[in-house]
């Protein structure tokens, strides 16, 4: 009944909500284990979707209640069976067994870890119930003395081992008990033992059923290069990992000492402990194990913390402890029976008969205290606010939309959307590189281009989906990352609890009116009391903070549109919802500084001051403000932009820095604009960088950073006259020689005047504050002059400078490439990448090395890294395209290769695109790309071969023959070309020539792909007959 009273309303966050999405089929199963649990869960899930979480939570409560009842039966029967009964003590033993069962079952029912999985849907309660049910069946089999029941037990136990890993360690104990039972009943013989083992193995065969069901399931279809045996390997591996990691690395000895050891002592000493054994050592041993058992039952911190560190929710140790607690209650109830032995003293006889009732009172008291102690922590109903919150969020989203969420509550939204019958795709940004998940999302979106970019990350998939249809942005809602809208090219517009994107903000007042009505309706939600549960309080505070963030950002939008009064109201509402919203405080302070009369500004300023002076908030007030929404202050925006830049996202950084630029007086924008220009250059947007440098120099012609930056830009673009003019201007404006001369040296180097470049840089190197730039120029000069000894000396100098080490690795990597030492080149570039993980140039160089050396996995991972920040990178797109060709996914390959060709037409990418289009039946466009590849490189034999294949498909056999012959002239070592040429001769009727060519190809058959091997076999058959 108490489980029902504390039953969670809706999906309880984190693990329980995950099990609901998995068990009900809302999401595809992600792991092959636990098939029985998922089958039963799916059965319970049938019915009205509106009551899904209620049914599954009730199912969890029923499982837990059955487990509690089974603990009562097992414990009481064990006590009763372990006691030597006679007419005198039979009643006493019956009382002891009942008391033990009551204490064990109620302590389990109300101990926090078990209670907290009993009033919500959780796999733990089902598996514990299953284990206890089999234990009870074992006791029945022993009691019946029928070995046929024991065979059934062996089969069921083997099946249980495939379902729940806790069955495995207990199998040894049950095996020993069975042997002992057979020995006692005098039925032990090899035949029965073999039959028992066979039954257990038959049960273990259920693992093949589990593997087959997963193999035929949805998730498996998303996995590349996997077969049925891989699934079985996953099952076995998962069981092993669960067993090996179920105990935390630190504290595992404490767990064993306070749970398993006392249980084993109780199990093996029950016969002596419950039968009036007067041995003092036995008494002391029971007294010793009582302490850790009581400590565990009350879940005191030094036991709770190690158990909480396990990567799964541990339940079985508490089940064992509660059984031990029940046994100890019986022991202390019966132990006075051994006090007087044969003495007839009335006092001792009184103690023998009554003291046990006194000693058992603490145990019964403990099980009455536990519900009071653990109610707040275990109460599932406290999460009811979250169900309402998810419903409100989903009410802000239309059907057939995509909702982007952050790290938490994804499963809660999925469950609530199912119950509301809301057709919404939920995209979790934190699962950025989960291939199976992203493939599943792309299938739901139903777009071929987004399907291709499921290979990259969540942001790439999202951008591809938006690009696929001009109106898709109207179907997108973003929950807690409004910055994402700006990176996608839209303005984030608040919509109660989510953000939608617009190209421009209109009807700002109408938007405010909608929010004002919404805030009024949320008063009851905001007054929810969850202070008694720390975990729920954190989530509730997060929900309020998000609601406050939306209100704050609405205020900023209103302020930008000229509605200062409404903006002030929004900021004040944000503070009312979440008094700690520092962003709202800062925005109100800025408004006040600009002359707007803000109500209560004195208190707001005091709060800002106290936060800024709070030493516990080490991150600083501007960093803290990112949690609470936008701040209309350049300092906050600039810091945010720099953070994005350091994290390797120049696109996001530019969005923030450009916003900050708008808030700074024009005459003070120079420093920020130079940072913006450098970010444009880093991201490859040279034209934008040039435009920003130009604007800086228009307002400040003496800006040295802009002059030098623009000169470098022109040198990189090989516009040497312009670079010369800019450097001369910089010299006239008084730029120091140690800054200017390295640029002249670089210009001379680019012009091929190595001697001049060396003289310039060697003259100025000793004066330079930043010697890295000078050493890099000098190293390039020495490399081109072939002075190896001097070059190595300069590289050694670079290695001594902390920020020069990365460049030393790059130079050594380039030298290794020149020497065709791929291993050394990879080692140096990988070391460089460790020092500068966000550097795209290093990443692309590594990608080319991985690709050229056949390291496919490393190449694919690197291509993904590059495309996640530079979606149009031509070579990374080419690598991904070739990988998808290898997977026979021509649709995705086309997407990658078209983007690669769009950015840079290379013979390889053009040819591969032609090959992909040919395999999709488009011979016309395919031929266009093949001919483009040949036009760029007439010696590219692969393109000639592809052109021949296209002509063959079009029925132009003579043309195809010429193309294949040209390819064969260029490369006689590739057997595929000769195979294609043989096919043409066969089509032209020259069987003898075709047969001779096929005979020549046959010995090299294994060098060709599988489909070409089949083609060879088919052509040989046709040539002979």
Q: Does residue 1015 sit in the same domain as residue 991?
A: yes
CB neighbours (10 Å) of residue 665?
Answer: 7
- Over residues 885-909, the mean pLDDT reads 92
Judge whether residue 942 has pLDDT over 60.
Answer: yes
CA 798 – CA 783 distance, rounded (Å): 15
Using alpha carbons, select from 468, 462, 554 the residue that is nearest to residue 505.
Answer: 554
- Over residues 864-874, the mean pLDDT reads 87
Q: Does residue 670 sit in the same domain as residue 782?
A: no
Judge whether residue 655 has pLDDT over 70.
Answer: no
Q: Give Cα separations from 336 to 284, 490, 585 (angstroms).
A: 14, 80, 70
Q: Where are the alpha helices (DSSP H) in 205-251?
A: 206-215, 218-221, 228-245
DSSP 737-806: HHHHHHHHHHHHHHTT-HHHHHHHHHHHGGG-S-HHHHHHHHHHHHHHHT-HHHHHHHHHHHHHSGGGHH
Last-in-domain residue among 679, 707, 732: 732
The residue with greater pLDDT, 385 or 614, is: 385
- Backbone Cα Rg of the chain: 37
Q: Does residue 829 sit in the same domain as residue 914?
A: no
Per the CB < 8 A criterion, the answer to whether 162 and 206 are in contact is yes
Last-in-domain residue among 788, 810, 837: 837
CA 380 – CA 589 distance, rounded (Å): 41
DSSP secondary structure letter of residue 250:
S
The residue with greater pLDDT, 357 or 222, is: 357
φ/ψ of 401, rounded to 5, equals -115, 170
Sign of CA dihedral 521, 524, 526, 530: negative
CB-based burial of residue 168 (10 Å sphere; 0-12 exposed, 13-18 middle, 19+ buried)? middle
The residue with greater pLDDT, 588 or 624, is: 588
For residue 34, tell me if it sits in a domain: no
For residue 174, tell me if it sits in a domain: no
- Over residues 966-972, the mean pLDDT reads 90
Q: Which pair of tokens denotes residue 589?
A: 């302070």
Q: What is residue 675's predicted lDDT score, i.e. its pLDDT?
A: 66
Q: Does residue 452 sit in the same domain as residue 530?
A: yes
Per the CB < 8 A criterion, the answer to whether 455 and 864 are in contact is yes
∠ CA 942-946-950 to the nearest 5 degrees? Answer: 170
Judge whether residue 193 has pLDDT over 70.
Answer: yes
For residue 49, tell me if it sits in a domain: no
Judge whether residue 618 has pLDDT over 50.
Answer: no
Residues 406-463 have pLDDT tens digits of: 877 899 999 999 999 999 999 998 887 777 888 888 888 887 777 888 888 888 888 8
66-80, 267-281, 841-855: least confidently modelled range: 267-281
CB neighbours (10 Å) of residue 921?
Answer: 8
Residue 877: give the domain boundaries. Answer: 872-1024
3-state SS, residue 691: helix
Q: Give Cα separations from 586 to 516, 546, 606, 636 (angstroms).
A: 22, 17, 11, 10
For residue 138, tell me if it sits in a domain: no
- Confidence label for 649 from pLDDT (cuts 50, 70 and 90): low
Last-in-domain residue among 570, 588, 606: 606
Mean pLDDT estimate for the chain: 85
Size of the chain, expressed as the number of residues it contains: 1025
Q: Does residue 543 sit in the same domain as residue 684?
A: no
Q: Does residue 753 sit in the same domain as residue 833?
A: yes
SS3 of the chain: helix, strand, coil, percent, to 5: 75, 0, 20
How many domains does the structure of the chain reveal? 4
Beta strands in 613-712 (DSSP E): none
Per the CB < 8 A criterion, the answer to whether 193 and 183 are in contact is no
- Confidence label for 216 from pLDDT (cuts 50, 70 and 90): confident
CA 433 – CA 439 distance, rounded (Å): 11
Residues 324-351 have pLDDT tens digits of: 999 999 988 888 876 655 556 666 666 6
Judge whether residue 645 has pLDDT over 60.
Answer: no
Using alpha carbons, select from 517, 47, 56, 122 the residue that is nearest to residue 314.
Answer: 122
DSSP secondary structure letter of residue 260:
I
CA 383 – CA 357 distance, rounded (Å): 41
Q: Which residues are registered as beta bridge partners of 426?
A: 403
CA 828 – CA 814 distance, rounded (Å): 9
CA 664 – CA 634 distance, rounded (Å): 7
- Confidence label for 1019 from pLDDT (cuts 50, 70 and 90): confident
Q: Does residue 464 sit in the same domain as residue 552?
A: yes
Element (H, E) at 401: strand 401-405
Q: Does residue 410 sit in the same domain as residue 556?
A: yes
Q: What is residue 338's predicted lDDT score, i.e. its pLDDT?
A: 64
- Over residues 860-876, the mean pLDDT reads 90
Q: What is residue 614's predicted lDDT score, i.e. its pLDDT?
A: 66
Per the CB < 8 A criterion, the answer to whether 653 and 679 are in contact is yes
Judge whether residue 566 has pLDDT over 60.
Answer: yes
For residue 923, tell me if it sits in a domain: yes
Q: What is the CATH number of the domain that holds 713?
A: 1.25.40.10
Q: Does residue 715 sit in the same domain as residue 745?
A: no
For residue 377, tell me if it sits in a domain: no
Q: Does residue 432 sit in the same domain as residue 474?
A: yes
Q: Which pair of tokens denotes residue 281?
A: 């050592």
Residues 976-993 have pLDDT tens digits of: 888 888 888 888 888 888
Judge whether residue 20 has pLDDT over 50.
Answer: yes
CB-based burial of residue 48 (10 Å sphere; 0-12 exposed, 13-18 middle, 19+ buried)? exposed
Q: Does residue 722 sit in the same domain as residue 747?
A: no
For residue 682, tell me if it sits in a domain: yes
- Over residues 165-191, the mean pLDDT reads 84
CA 423 – CA 445 distance, rounded (Å): 11
For residue 540, tell me if it sits in a domain: yes
- Confidence label for 719 from pLDDT (cuts 50, 70 and 90): confident
Q: What is residue 734's predicted lDDT score, i.e. its pLDDT?
A: 79
Judge whether residue 818 has pLDDT over 50.
Answer: yes
3-state SS, residue 857: helix
Q: What is residue 352's predicted lDDT score, i.e. its pLDDT?
A: 66
Q: Does residue 831 sit in the same domain as residue 880?
A: no
Q: Which pair of tokens denotes residue 830?
A: 């990988």
pTM over 0.75: yes
CA atoms lying within 13 Å on the CB side of residue 4: 3
The packing angle between helices 941-953 and 975-987, to 10°, is 30
3-state SS, residue 1009: coil
CA 932 – CA 910 distance, rounded (Å): 7
């Amino acid at each position: 009944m108490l489980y029902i009273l504390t039953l969670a309303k809706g999906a309880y966050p984190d693990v329980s909500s995950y099990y609901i999405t998995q068990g009900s089929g809302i999401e595809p199963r992600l792991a092959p284990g636990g098939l029985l649990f998922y089958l039963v869960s799916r059965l319970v899930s049938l019915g009205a979707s509106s009551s899904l979480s209620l049914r599954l939570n009730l199912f969890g409560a029923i499982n837990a209640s059955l487990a509690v009842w089974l603990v009562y039966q097992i414990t009481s029967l064990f006590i009763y069976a372990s006691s030597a009964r006679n007419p005198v003590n039979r009643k006493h033993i019956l009382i002891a067994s009942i008391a033990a069962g009551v204490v064990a079952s109620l302590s389990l029912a109300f101990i926090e870890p078990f209670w907290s999985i009993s009033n919500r849907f959780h796999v733990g309660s089902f598996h514990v119930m299953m284990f206890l049910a089999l234990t009870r069946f074992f006791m029945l089999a022993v009691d019946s003395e029928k070995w046929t029941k024991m065979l059934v037990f062996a089969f069921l136990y083997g099946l249980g081992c495939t379902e729940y890993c806790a069955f495995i360690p207990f199998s040894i104990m049950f095996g020993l008990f069975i042997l002992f039972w057979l020995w006692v009943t005098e039925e032990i013989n090899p035949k029965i033992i073999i039959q028992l083992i066979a039954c257990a193995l038959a049960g273990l065969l259920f693992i093949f059923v589990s593997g087959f069901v997963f193999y035929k399931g949805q998730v498996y279809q998303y996995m590349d290069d996997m077969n049925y045996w891989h699934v079985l390997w996953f099952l076995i591996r998962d069981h092993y990992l669960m067993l090996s990691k179920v105990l935390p690395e630190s504290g595992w000895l404490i767990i064993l000492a306070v749970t398993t050891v006392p249980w084993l002592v109780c199990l093996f000493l029950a016969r002596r402990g419950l039968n009036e054994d007067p041995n003092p050592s036995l008494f002391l041993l029971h007294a010793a194990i009582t302490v850790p058992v009581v400590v565990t039952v009350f879940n005191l911190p030094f036991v709770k913390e190690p158990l909480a560190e396990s990567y799964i929710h541990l339940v079985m140790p508490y089940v064992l402890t509660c059984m031990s607690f029940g046994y100890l209650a019986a022991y202390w109830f019966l132990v006075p029976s051994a006090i007087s032995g044969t003495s007839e003293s009335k006092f001792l006889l009184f103690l023998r008969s009554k003291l046990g009732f006194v000693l058992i009172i603490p145990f019964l008291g403990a099980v009455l205290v536990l519900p009071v102690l653990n109610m707040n922590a275990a109460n599932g109903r406290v999460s009811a606010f979250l169900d309402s919150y998810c419903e409100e969020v989903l009410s802000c989203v239309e059907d057939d939309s995509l909702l982007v969420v952050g790290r938490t509550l994804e499963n809660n939204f999925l469950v609530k959307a199912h119950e509301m019958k809301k057709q919404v795709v939920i995209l979790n940004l934190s699962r950025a590189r989960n291939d199976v998940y992203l493939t599943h999302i792309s299938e739901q979106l139903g777009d071929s281009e987004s399907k291709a970019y499921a290979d990259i990350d969540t942001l790439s998939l999202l951008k591809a989906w938006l690009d696929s249809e001009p109106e898709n942005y109207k179907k997108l809602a973003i929950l807690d990352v409004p910055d994402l809208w700006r990176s996608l090219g839209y303005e984030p517009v608040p919509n109660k609890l989510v953000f939608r994107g617009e190209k421009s903000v209109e009807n700002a007042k109408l938007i405010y009116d909608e929010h004002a009505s919404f805030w009024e309706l949320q008063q009851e939600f905001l007054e929810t009391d969850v202070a008694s549960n720390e975990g729920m309080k954190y989530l509730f505070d997060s929900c309020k903070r998000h609601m406050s963030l939306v209100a704050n950002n609405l205020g900023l939008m209103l302020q930008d549109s000229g509605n200062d009064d409404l903006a002030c109201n929004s900021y004040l509402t944000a503070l009312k919802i979440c008094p700690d919203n520092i962003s709202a405080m800062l925005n109100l302070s800025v408004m006040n500084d600009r002359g707007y009369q803000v109500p209560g500004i004195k208190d707001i300023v005091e709060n800002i001051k106290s936060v800024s002076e709070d030493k516990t908030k080490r991150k600083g007030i501007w960093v803290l403000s990112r949690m609470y929404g936008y701040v209309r202050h350049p300092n906050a925006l600039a810091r945010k932009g720099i953070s994005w830049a350091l994290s390797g996202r120049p696109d996001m950084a530019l969005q923030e820095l450009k916003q900050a630029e708008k808030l700074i007086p024009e005459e003070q924008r120079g420093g920020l604009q130079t940072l913006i220009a450098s970010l444009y250059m880093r991201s490859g947007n040279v034209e934008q960088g040039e435009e920003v440098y130009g604007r800086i120099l228009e307002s400040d012609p003496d800006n040295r950073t802009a002059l030098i930056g623009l000169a470098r830009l022109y040198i990189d673009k090989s516009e040497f006259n312009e670079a010369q003019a800019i450097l001369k201007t910089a010299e006239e404006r008084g730029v120091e020689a140690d800054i200017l001369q390295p640029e002249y040296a670089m210009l001379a180097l680019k012009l091929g005047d190595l001697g001049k470049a060396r003289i310039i840089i060697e003259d100025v190197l000793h004066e330079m504050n930043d010697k890295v730039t000078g050493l890099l120029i000098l190293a390039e000069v020495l490399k081109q002059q072939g002075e190896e000894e001097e070059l190595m000396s300069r590289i050694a100098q670079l290695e001594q400078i902390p920020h020069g080490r990365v460049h030393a690795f790059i130079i050594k990597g380039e030298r290794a490439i020149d020497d065709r030492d791929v291993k050394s080149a990879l080692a140096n570039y990988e070391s460089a990448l460790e020092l500068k993980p966000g550097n795209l140039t290093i990443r692309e160089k590594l990608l080319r090395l991985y690709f050229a050396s056949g390291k496919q996995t490393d190449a694919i991972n690197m291509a993904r890294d590059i495309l996640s920040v530079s979606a149009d990178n031509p070579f990374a797109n080419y690598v991904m395209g070739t990988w998808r060709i290898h997977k026979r996914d021509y649709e995705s390959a086309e997407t990658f290769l078209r983007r690669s060709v769009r950015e840079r037409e290379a013979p390889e990418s053009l040819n591969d695109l032609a090959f992909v289009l040919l395999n999709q039946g488009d011979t016309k466009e395919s031929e266009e790309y093949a001919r483009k590849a040949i036009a760029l490189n007439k010696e590219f034999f692969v393109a000639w071969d592809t052109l021949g294949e296209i002509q063959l498909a079009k029925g132009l056999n003579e043309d195809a023959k010429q193309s294949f012959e040209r390819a064969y002239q260029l490369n006689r070592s590739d057997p595929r070309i000769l195979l294609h040429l043989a096919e043409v001769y066969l089509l032209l009727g020259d069987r003898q020539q075709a047969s001779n060519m096929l005979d020549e190809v046959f010995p090299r058959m294994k060098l060709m792909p599988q489909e070409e091997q089949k083609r060879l076999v088919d052509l040989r058959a046709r040539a002979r007959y």
